[in-house]
Amino acid sequence: MDDSPLQVLTVATAPYPDQRHGSGGLRRMVNVFQTRKHYLHNFIQSIFSSIDLRDRQGSTVMVGGDGRFFNQTAIRVIVQMAAANGVGRLVIGQHGIMSTPAISCMIRKCKAIGGIILTASHDPGGPNGGLGIKFNTANGGPASEAVANKIHQISRTIEEFAICPGLQVDLMTLGRQTFDLENKFKPFTVEIVDSVESYANLLRNIFDFAALKELLSGESHISVRLDAMHGAAGPYVRRILCGELGCPANSAVNCVPLEDFGGQRPDPNLTYAADLADSMRDGQFDFGAAFGGDGDRHMVLGKHGLYVSPSDSVAVIADNIFCIPYFQHTGVRGFARSMPTSAALDSFLETIFHFIRCRVAKATKIELYETPPGWNFFGSLMDAGKLSLCGEESFGAGGDHIRETDGLWAVLAWLSIMATRRQSVQDILKDHWLKYGRNYFTRYDYESIDIDTACEMMEDLEIIITDKSFVKQRFAVEDKLYQVEKADSFEYTDPVNSSLTRNQGLRIIFSDGSRIIYRLSGTRINGATVQIYIDSYEKERLSEDTQVMLAPLATIALKISKLHHRTGRSGPSLIT
């Protein structure tokens, strides 16, 4: 065997203009990475070059992903490039698989300078699907806008990358591998780890596992159905919910990660997790949950498939936050939601504050932050001790235990509420609406729209809604009349570092508080996805059909944008 030090090479390359690290990292069709010369290498080098050499040298970096097609190939390249870029130690999930929340947990635990996550989350997998590369920084959360911009700038002028082509890593065997590199004093090490235990340990310190075990496997236990959608959540669901908390093994399905997620999109909503909803319809399960491809997103269903909207989910968890022992210790620092997420959290907080103020003259209001989509904005608030709990309409919720959306955490939060209140999902949800009113919410996705058409539509729409004459305009549909109160292009100033983020969606807010929001998705792999979000508050009519309730606003949204006319579409590709 040749044990001479491995060669480090510098390879010339040419830049690509489109390597922007968005809220979900860089996402492209797999064949872009396969066919464009050094497309992967350029982006990885741009990530490493964005880290100061002094911080990079000898540092620890985490690597893992959702198990999709091409991830292992990409990880082998990342290992070769990390070694050549002075990283001292890589910690990698066995088989290259690690859920996004577990990576966030491990970055913080191992004091890594960051992590590279190979996931395109909810986008399809397989040879004809997508691939995503996301860089998370030392706090465990997605790169800030400033870091993302730096990576993009570097990628636009890159001329060379460093690589150790002879370095062959074994991703299958747990344990440490060391490699000697030429011109290097210290060996480069790779640790292949099973992250489930570290992540489970984190959850054990947040929740009351004994109470959860009683709920899930005690004498009068509830029955559950858990669908990991063949993503990275599978091993965590099996070991934590089945192995430790006692859910029967057959209650967890699709727990083996597959490169193409079994041919379906690993997006936990009623369309793509339809099997879960179907299996719950006859009432044999009290609680159901599906998890996204990288374990960050989740959907909660009650008996007979009762759907809990993600916006309601975070409001209910907020109202019951002290059912989670972790928050009994930390207290509540603040709440947050992304701007397009329904205002259910606001409705709850307004009622609660009003209620407290009636009793305590100088009641301190708990701060509510409204951020652009993307967990990096929440992470900044959490790092500054301003935020405890947050959520997004895109099936994400989490606490400040890590800096990512956390599907399993959200499910354990719901189960903790059920265990404490001894109530069903349905009763918990109905009680919530009775107390605080209900925010009906829907999102229409128009996928694979020509990028220029989508951008032109957004530009024209911005001109229309920001014209002075737009405010006070009235729109009538059937017996409903809405008057525009405010309209703008949403921008956000981070209260911690004062950085300004512009163009985060076009908002129309009506005088009754109803909202229409238009936004281009930042995470799609193919063309543009135009998203319309509709939110309307009701105090009395609590059990209506969401689509029926929101139909007048949907008509108005389409009329103002002329979306169907401009795109040639007759309806959305997806409704959530």
413 residue type, one letter: A
Residue of the chain from 93, 305, 373, 391 that contacts ligand G6P (CB under 6 A) = 373
Q: Is 527 a residue that touches ligand G6P (CB under 6 A)?
A: no
Contact 509, 486 (CB under 8 A): yes
Task: Please report how close the Cβ of residue 394 comes to ligand G6P at its closest, in angstroms.
Answer: 4
Site size toward ligand G6P (CB under 6 A) is: 15
CA-atom Rg of the chain in angstroms: 24
Residue of the chain from 104, 121, 313, 504 that contacts ligand G6P (CB under 6 A) = 121
Q: What secondary structure letter does DSSP report for 98?
A: -
Q: Is 166 a residue that touches ligand G6P (CB under 6 A)?
A: no
Contacting range for ligand G6P; rule: CB under 6 A; set: 78-86, 219-227, 233-241, 371-379: 371-379
Cα–Cα distance for residue pair 516/103, rounded to 1 Å = 35
Contacting range for ligand G6P; rule: CB under 6 A; set: 4-12, 49-57, 373-381, 533-541: 373-381
Contacting range for ligand G6P; rule: CB under 6 A; set: 51-59, 177-185, 275-283, 519-527: 519-527
Contacts of ligand G6P in 303-362 (CB under 6 A): 338
Task: Please report how close the Cβ of residue 405 comes to ligand G6P at its closest, in angstroms.
Answer: 5
Contact 495, 369 (CB under 8 A): yes
The residues near 41 (Cβ < 8 Å, ≥ 6 apart) are 11, 13, 77, 81, 161, 163
Cα–Cα distance for residue pair 458/171, rounded to 1 Å = 45
Mark 357-366 as b/e (b = at least 16 C-beta within 10 Å).
Answer: eeeeeeeeee
Contacting range for ligand G6P; rule: CB under 6 A; set: 156-164, 359-367, 446-454, 517-525: 517-525
Task: Please report how close the Cβ of residue 471 comes to ligand G6P at its closest, in angstroms.
Answer: 27
Q: What secondary structure letter does DSSP report for 22?
A: B
Cα–Cα distance for residue pair 491/372, rounded to 1 Å = 8
Residue of the chain from 6, 21, 23, 64 that contacts ligand G6P (CB under 6 A) = 23
Judged by CB, which is closer to ligand G6P: 235, or 379?
379
Q: Is 521 a residue that touches ligand G6P (CB under 6 A)?
A: yes
Q: Is 405 a residue that touches ligand G6P (CB under 6 A)?
A: yes
Q: Is 59 a residue that touches ligand G6P (CB under 6 A)?
A: no
Contact 223, 285 (CB under 8 A): yes
Cα–Cα distance for residue pair 81/161, rounded to 1 Å = 8
Task: Please report how close the Cβ of residue 393 comes to ligand G6P at its closest, in angstroms.
Answer: 8
Contact mark string toward ligand G6P, 264..303, x via CB under 6 A: --------------------------------x-------
Phi and psi at residue 515, to the nearest 5°? -135, 145
The residues near 362 (Cβ < 8 Å, ≥ 6 apart) are none
Q: Is 24 a residue that touches ligand G6P (CB under 6 A)?
A: yes
Q: Is 504 a residue that touches ligand G6P (CB under 6 A)?
A: no
Q: Is 394 a residue that touches ligand G6P (CB under 6 A)?
A: yes
Work out the angle at residue 27's Cα, subtended by the Cα atoms of residues 21 and 28, and round it to the nearest 5 degrees: 130
Among candidate residues 516, 374, 518, the one with its CA nearest the CA of residue 445: 518
Cα–Cα distance for residue pair 83/45, rounded to 1 Å = 12
Task: Please report how close the Cβ of residue 524 comes to ligand G6P at its closest, in angstroms.
Answer: 6
Contact mark string toward ligand G6P, 186..215, x via CB under 6 A: ------------------------------
Please report which residue ranges of 487-562 form alpha helices under DSSP H.
546-561
Task: Please report how close the Cβ of residue 499 comes to ligand G6P at its closest, in angstroms.
Answer: 17
Structure-token pair, residue 329 = 């210790």
Residue of the chain from 188, 348, 375, 440 that contacts ligand G6P (CB under 6 A) = 375
Q: Is 406 a residue that touches ligand G6P (CB under 6 A)?
A: no
Catalytic residues: 121
Q: Find where tokens 């991703």 sit.
A: 171
Residue of the chain from 93, 124, 257, 374 that contacts ligand G6P (CB under 6 A) = 374
- For 30, other C-beta atoms within 10 Å of its C-beta total 23
Judged by CB, which is closer to ligand G6P: 303, or 403?
403
Task: Please report how close the Cβ of residue 296 comes to ligand G6P at its closest, in angstroms.
Answer: 6
Contacting range for ligand G6P; rule: CB under 6 A; set: 13-21, 223-231, 389-397, 533-541: 389-397
Task: Please report how close the Cβ of residue 228 comes to ligand G6P at its closest, in angstroms.
Answer: 17
Structure-token pair, residue 272 = 């793509």
For the chain, how many residues are written?
Answer: 576
**From its phi and psi, is residue 44 left (phi > 0), alpha (psi between -120 and 50) or beta?**
alpha
Among candidate residues 212, 240, 374, the one with its CA nearest the CA of residue 296: 374
Judged by CB, which is closer to ligand G6P: 413, or 532?
532
Residues that bind ligand G6P in the complex, under the rule CB under 6 A:
23-24, 121, 296, 338, 373-375, 392, 394, 396, 405, 521-523
